[in-house]
Amino acid sequence: MTTVIRQRTEDQIRLQARIVQAERVAVIATQLDGEIVYLNPAAEELYGWQSQEVVGRNIVELVVPTNKLESANQIMKALRAGESWTGEFTLKRKDGSQFTAFVTDSPIFNEAGLLIGIVGVSHDLTALKEALLKLETQVEDGSRNLKLANKNLRRLSSRLMQVRDEESRRLARDLHDSAGQLLTAVNMNNAIIKGQFHKLDAAGARAAVENEKLISQISREIRAITYLLHPPLLDEFGLETALRMYVEGYTKRSDIRVDLTVAPDFGRLPEEMEIACFRFIQECLVNVHRHSKSPSAAIKIGYQRRRVYMEVRDEGRGLSLSQLLESRENGVGLAGMRERIRYLDGTLDIKSDANGTVLIARLPLK
């Protein structure tokens, strides 16, 4: 290429490069072989070089780190073939420091359509990368704090359940002991009165008989209340016996047939787990009575892959979407059971449709 043609080519490259000089981005224009012919002020600021220091030098040798030379040569090859290239690329400054830039390299054509040079536009992504890293750190910190808050909330919720269980056990014991003893004394006194029937008029005799019936009814209701507060058989004989007694009473009160199947080798569980299992079954049967209107329910309890497996199935009308959401958000009922089971590292699955509802709880054995 003659000096005149070369000068004209460089002038055209500079002219096209100056078109984007108004933009506050780094612009470097080169010959096809990578020889720098133009560097705008933003590029001088970004790379740390003055124009008179780099014009005539090769762009690849000047701003590309050693470990990126192969990639840079591939890009230059594509540019000399008339193709553009856009993407993130690691570059270096005059002082040797490296940074990531968003680069757009484009071939330059003259008025005749001949390829005469290359222009590269670089956006420094350092500030953006730092901002993104800071944002990611904040998100991670926020997520970590949220997980910690949720963990603490679940721990508090579980502790409240434990306190409630302990209080229910105490109330059941006190009610059984105090009220039971008083009713026994009243019943003994009433027996003495009945023994004096011959001295009573008709009204007195009827009152004595009626008292006996009332005492018997009160005793049954106190037993039912104490059982709902805390089944005494749970502590003494374990989950299976307590559930069979509860299911028997539930069937009599509700007229809902319940089929309870417990694995033969089930045995005893830790106290907290037995309470959780009992309350889960209890809440499920309460929902069958209140919501599903099913004539029957089936309960299965056993072990599955080192986990306690509990399944409660009914043939009712199923739970509505609002009831399913309520079971997750209320903090009572099934939602309370979900939290209790989750605290024990267990899972609770609910499947409900027009054919009925199935609740499956799994608690890992520790």
Predicted confidence (pLDDT) per residue in 108-162, tens digit: 888 788 898 999 999 898 888 888 888 888 888 888 888 888 778 777 776 777 7
CATH of the domain at 320: 3.30.565.10
Q: What pLDDT was estimated at residue 16? A: 53
Q: Which domain holds residue 297?
A: 237-366
- Is 213 within a domain? no
Contacts (Cβ under 8 Å, ≥6 apart) of 150:
none
CATH classification of the domain holding 97: 3.30.450.20
Threshold 0.85, pTM exceeds: no
User: Which of 78, 106, 124 is a domain's end point?
Assistant: 124
Domain membership of residue 354 (yes or no) is: yes
The average confidence (pLDDT) of the chain is: 83
Residue 328: the pLDDT is 44
In a domain? residue 218? no
Residue range 332-357: mean pLDDT, rounded: 81
Q: How far is it, in rounded angstroms, from Cα 303 to Cα 310?
A: 9
pLDDT greater at residue 331 or residue 26: 26
Q: Mean pLDDT throughout 319-344?
A: 64
Query: Looking at the domain assignment, is residue 157 inside a domain?
Result: no
User: pLDDT for 224-278, tens place per residue?
Assistant: 777 667 777 787 888 999 899 889 888 888 889 999 999 998 989 988 899 889 9
- The answer to whether 365 and 270 are in contact (CB under 8 A) is no
Residue 148, classified by CB atoms within 10 Å of its CB into exposed (0-12), middle (13-18) or buried (19+), is exposed
Number of domains in the chain: 2
Q: Which of 124, 154, 172 is the last residue of a domain?
A: 124
Q: pLDDT, tens digit, for every residue of 1-25?
A: 556 555 655 565 555 555 555 556 8
Q: What is the b/e burial string over 114-125, where b = at least 16 CB atoms within 10 angstroms of the residue's CB? A: eebbbbbbbbbb
In a domain, 325, yes or no: yes
Look at residue 2 in the predicted model and tell me its pLDDT: 59
Contact 340, 162 (CB under 8 A): no
Which of 107, 124, 141 lies at the terminal end of a domain, its last residue? 124
Residue 191 counted as domain residue: no
